[in-house]
Amino acid sequence: MLERFDLHGAPVTSLDLKCLLIGNGMKYPDEVYQSVASVARLEPPTNPFACNCIILPGEVAVHLQANSQSPFALALDEDGKACLFHEDARLTEITFPAASAYYGQKTSVGTPFGSIAVLEGVSTLAFFYMWKCQYIQTKETCTFCFQVVADIMGYPLPSSSYDEVAEIIKWSIENAGVREIQLTAGTLFTSPEECKRYADLLRAIDERVGLDKIPSEIYCYMTAPKDPASVDQVFEAGADRVAHDLHVWDSSLHARYAPGHARHIGRAGQLRALEHIADKFGPNRAFSAFVAGLEPLDSMLEGAEYLASRGIVPAFSIWMPTPGSVTADTAPPGLDYYRQAQKQFAYLYRKYNLDPPGAAAGSHVSLCRDIYRHRDALLAD
């Protein structure tokens, strides 16, 4: 049974709230930060680049996107507890991940850990941009990608060495309760080179940390290679899973939101690569994220069923409107859209025996692990 909260007379679950909060952000006043700073992993509101997180009842992690215009707000209730409010009505008490010394650490060459990888939820370490995306050169970057925006605007994003990646993983497993590692980097036009880099990196992590020391799993978000077999070396080097994200199923919207992928690989090429993994390495080893809200529900669900029926895990990310992007003028979908999507993804995970990536409290903007953990309750509704 999923706990429900009263949103002005409408009962909503933590999963519903996660969808609404990522689409709308929330007010984040300094008094909330001050009240929990000593015990919570939380950066102050003055740091706009912080990767903060709140945790809703049911262990549902939500990215804390500060937005002073949002109808949702973090505030202290009369007992001094941090709570989530909607237009002054208290919805629920919230918690935060436990305080960690992670963001005070630097690699042995002096790079702050936080500029290379962030902590998500309670136990995920996410490397977000290990090398530059070459779609910048052809102005074909994906419309919702934060990393390339920062790169194009000249923010100093460090290119981490394999040694630094391994060092951060080792420290985080030993000191920050990390159980799961996400590796992400930019697209390289020569896909065999991108696959080789991931394989080399995994071997370096194995040598310096031991892949068997990762309590849950390690997976790579990669560009689908032109020759699908190029990815074999990544699995042989120890990846538990590989993602080739489709983002949307509709072909024309795919070209609009992910122009580089659409022109250089095409949806057919992405599907060929995903199906190669499922055929060669079995179900649950390939996954691909849809960004809920970017296309009509029927279209997204058609794509999710296509993948699921082939043993490829459809993942569910929630669209976070980005100022200045081509999606900025589009309103996020309503709760009905998200609820139907939650239920259908739960149905697909159960029907095809699929197990999406993610550890406890999941990731900040993806709902797939939350749906999986609460699939029985969603389907019983």
Which residues here bind ligand SF4, judged by CB under 6 A?
A: 133, 135, 141-142, 145, 147-148, 186-187, 260
Cα-Cα-Cα-Cα torsion 34, 180, 370, 141, nearest 10 degrees, comes to: 90
Angle in degrees, CA 70, 75, 80, rounded to 5? 175
CB of residue 68 vs ligand SF4: minimum separation in angstroms?
27
Residue 177 or 269: the one with the smaller Cβ distance to ligand SF4 is: 269
Question: Which C-beta is closer to ligand SF4: that of 13 or that of 187?
Answer: 187
3-state secondary structure 265-287: CHHHHHHHHHHHHHHHHCCCCEE
Q: How far is the CB of 174 from ligand SF4 (least distance, A)?
A: 30
> What sign does the dihedral 130-131-135-140 (CA atoms) show?
positive
Alpha-carbon distance of 37 to 337, in angstroms, equals: 36
Say if residues 78 and 380 touch (Cβ distance below 8 Å). no
Residue 299: C-alpha distances to residues 150, 210, 249, 275 (Å): 31, 41, 6, 20
Closest by Cα among 290, 288, 263, 292 to 276: 288
Minimum CB separation from ligand SF4 for residue 186, in Å?
Answer: 4
**C-beta closer to ligand SF4: residue 108 or 139:** 139
Nearer to ligand SF4, 199 or 291 (CB): 291
Compute the C-alpha angle 106/237/285, nearest 5°: 100
Cα 363 from Cα 371, distance rounded (Å) = 12
201 versus 214: smaller Cβ distance to ligand SF4? 201
Least distance in angstroms from the C-beta of 187 to ligand SF4: 4
Which segments of 66-116 are extended strands (E)? 72-76, 82-86, 89-93
Strands 10-13 and 4-7: antiparallel
Q: Is the CB of 55 or the CB of 142 nearer to ligand SF4?
A: 142
CB of 140 to ligand SF4, least distance (A): 8
Say how far apart CA 227 and CA 234 lie, in whole Å.
Answer: 13
Specify the amino acid at residue 149.
V
State the nearest-atom distance from the C-beta of 325 to ligand SF4, in Å. Answer: 11
Select 1 or 268, whichever has its Cβ closest to ligand SF4: 268
Rank residues 74 and 133 by Cβ distance to ligand SF4 and give the closer one: 133
Residue 174, both tokens: 């030993």
CB of 245 to ligand SF4, least distance (A): 7
CB of 270 to ligand SF4, least distance (A): 12
